[in-house]
Amino acid sequence: MARIKARSLVPQKNLGYHGAINAIVDRDISAGAIVVVNGDRGACFTVEPASNNSKRRSSGLLYVLRNGGRSGDLLTGLTFITVPIEDSKKKLGDPAWLGRDGVWTFTKPKTNPIQVGEVIDSPSGKRVLLAPQARY
């Protein structure tokens, strides 16, 4: 299987529908959260928020939710998405790390650091490319 590098996704669209999944969430969750597949229900996958403090919740298939939702909602899990950042001090290529409960952060965790994105440049300014399945 070929490995996709995050920098090869930059000039393309900002939504990663290639490989996207239908996801049913097990709790309320916000848009842009990183989730991990933990099962299936019919033709959909069930997901829970990914977390760097759990091996089970930080490995496997990781996706980014395009929209937020409530427990039991059917959402779309994307392979990558770009989101604007407000911190103008970030440089191109600065990493984004998996935090707890689906949140990503620019602060590298002391234990189990997992990179899920990086700062990129776009016509509308600096953005973060969240691509949790990419190889950094």
Is it the case that residue 4 has pLDDT exceeding 50?
yes
Across residues 125-132, what is the average pLDDT?
90
Instruction: Quickly state the pLDDT bin for 1 (edges 50, 70, 90).
Output: very low
Instruction: Quickly state the pLDDT bin for 80 (edges 50, 70, 90).
Output: very high
Residues contacting 55, CB < 8 A, separation 6+: 112
The tokens describing 6, both together, are 């995050």
Does the predicted model carry a pTM greater than 0.95?
Answer: no
What is the number of other CB atoms lying within 10 angstroms of the CB of residue 33? Answer: 22
- Give the residue with greater pLDDT, 123 vs 130: 130
The per-residue pLDDT of the chain, averaged, comes to 87
Contact 65, 77 (CB under 8 A): yes
Across residues 8-20, what is the average pLDDT?
63
Q: What is the pLDDT of residue 47?
A: 94
Q: What is the pLDDT of residue 42?
A: 87
Across residues 26-47, what is the average pLDDT?
92
Q: What is the pLDDT of residue 17?
A: 78
Q: Where are the domains of the chain?
A: 1-136
What is the number of other CB atoms lying within 10 angstroms of the CB of residue 11? Answer: 8
